[in-house]
Amino acid sequence: MFARRIVVVGTGYVGLTTGACLASLGHRVVCSDVDAAKVARLSRGEVGILEPGLGELVAEGIAAGRLEFVLGSAGAVADAEVVFLCVPTPMGSGGGADLAAVESVVAEVATELPAGCVLVCKSTVPVGTSARVAELVGRPDVAVVSNPEFLREGSAVHDFLNPDRIVVGSASQDAAERVAALYARLGAPTVLTDAPSAEMVKYAANCFLATKLSYVNAVAELCERLGANISDVTEGMGYDRRIGQSFLQPGPGWGGSCLPKDTAALLQVAQSVGFDFELLGAAIDSNARQREQMVAKVADACGVGVAGSLDGVRLGLLGLTFKAGTDDLRDSPALAVAELLAARGAELVACDPGLRGDEAPLRDVVTLVDDPYEAAKGSAGLVVLTEWQQFRALDWPRVAGLLAGPVVVDTRNHLDPDVLRRAGISWRGVGRLP
The residues, ordered by sequence, that sit 6+ positions from 8 with a Cβ below 8 Å of its Cβ are 15, 16, 18, 19, 22, 29, 30, 31, 32, 83, 84, 86
Q: Can you give 357-404 as a three-state secondary structure string?
A: CCCHHHCCCCEEECCHHHHHCCCCCEEECCCCHHHHCCCHHHHHHHCC
Query: For ligand UPG, which is the closer residue by CB, 148 or 417?
Result: 148
The answer to whether residue 151 forms part of the interface with ligand UPG (CB under 6 A) is yes
Q: From the CB of residue 282, how many other CB atoms can be counted at a distance below 10 Å? A: 14
The answer to whether residue 251 forms part of the interface with ligand UPG (CB under 6 A) is yes
Tell me whether residue 258 is one of the annotated catalytic residues: yes
The answer to whether residue 291 forms part of the interface with ligand UPG (CB under 6 A) is no
> Distance between alpha carbon 404 and the CA centroid of its chain, in Å?
35
The answer to whether residue 146 forms part of the interface with ligand UPG (CB under 6 A) is no
| In the complex, minimum distance from the CB of residue 53 to ligand UPG, in angstroms, rounded to a whole number | 15
- Which of left, alpha, beta for 318 (phi over 0: left; psi -120 to 50: alpha)? beta
Q: What distance in Å separates the CA atoms of residue 166 and residue 42, rounded to the nearest whole number? A: 27
Task: Among 10, 96, 169, 256, indicate the residue that binds ligand UPG (CB under 6 A).
Answer: 256
The answer to whether residue 249 forms part of the interface with ligand UPG (CB under 6 A) is yes
The answer to whether residue 258 forms part of the interface with ligand UPG (CB under 6 A) is yes
Stretch that binds ligand UPG, among 47-55, 145-153, 294-302, 348-356 (CB under 6 A): 145-153
| Spatial contact of 278 and 311, defined as CB atoms under 8 Å apart | no
31 three-class SS: strand
| Spatial contact of 7 and 32, defined as CB atoms under 8 Å apart | yes
The answer to whether residue 18 forms part of the interface with ligand UPG (CB under 6 A) is no
The answer to whether residue 13 forms part of the interface with ligand UPG (CB under 6 A) is no
The answer to whether residue 15 forms part of the interface with ligand UPG (CB under 6 A) is no
What single letter denotes the amino acid at residue 406? P
List Cβ<8 Å contacts ≥24 apart for 307-314: 309/344, 309/345, 310/341, 310/344, 310/345, 310/346, 311/344, 311/345, 311/346, 312/345, 312/347, 313/345, 313/346, 313/347, 313/380, 314/346, 314/347, 314/348, 314/349, 314/378, 314/379, 314/380, 314/404
| Spatial contact of 405 and 379, defined as CB atoms under 8 Å apart | yes
| In the complex, minimum distance from the CB of residue 154 to ligand UPG, in angstroms, rounded to a whole number | 6
| In the complex, minimum distance from the CB of residue 378 to ligand UPG, in angstroms, rounded to a whole number | 29
Q: Where are the alpha helices (DSSP H) in 240-311?
A: 259-272, 278-301
The answer to whether residue 259 forms part of the interface with ligand UPG (CB under 6 A) is yes
Q: What distance in Å separates the CA atoms of residue 55 and residue 45, rounded to the nearest whole number? A: 7
Longest dimension (CA), the chain: 71
| In the complex, minimum distance from the CB of residue 216 to ligand UPG, in angstroms, rounded to a whole number | 7
The answer to whether residue 384 forms part of the interface with ligand UPG (CB under 6 A) is no
Stretch that binds ligand UPG, among 56-64, 74-82, 126-134, 253-261 (CB under 6 A): 253-261
Query: For ligand UPG, which is the closer residue by CB, 164 or 358?
Result: 164
Stretch that binds ligand UPG, among 206-214, 339-347, 391-399, 413-421 (CB under 6 A): 206-214
What single letter denotes the amino acid at residue 421? R
The answer to whether residue 247 forms part of the interface with ligand UPG (CB under 6 A) is yes
Task: Among 254, 388, 391, 396, indicate the residue that binds ligand UPG (CB under 6 A).
Answer: 254
Stretch that binds ligand UPG, among 19-27, 90-98, 150-158, 301-309 (CB under 6 A): 150-158
Which residues within the stretch 309-328 sit at the binding site for ligand UPG (CB under 6 A)?
322-323
Query: For ligand UPG, which is the closer residue by CB, 291 or 314?
Result: 291
Q: Which of 362, 365, 399 is nearest to 382 (CA)?
A: 399
| In the complex, minimum distance from the CB of residue 358 to ligand UPG, in angstroms, rounded to a whole number | 24
- Which of left, alpha, beta for 172 (phi over 0: left; psi -120 to 50: alpha)? beta
Site string for ligand UPG, 88-127 (x = CB under 6 A): ------------------------------------x---
The residue annotated as part of the active site, out of 223, 258, 302, 351, is: 258
Task: Among 61, 126, 163, 255, indicate the residue that binds ligand UPG (CB under 6 A).
Answer: 255
The answer to whether residue 352 forms part of the interface with ligand UPG (CB under 6 A) is no
> Catalytic residues, which ones?
258
Residues at the contact surface with ligand UPG, assessed by CB under 6 A? 124, 149-153, 206, 209, 213, 247-249, 251, 254-259, 322-323, 333
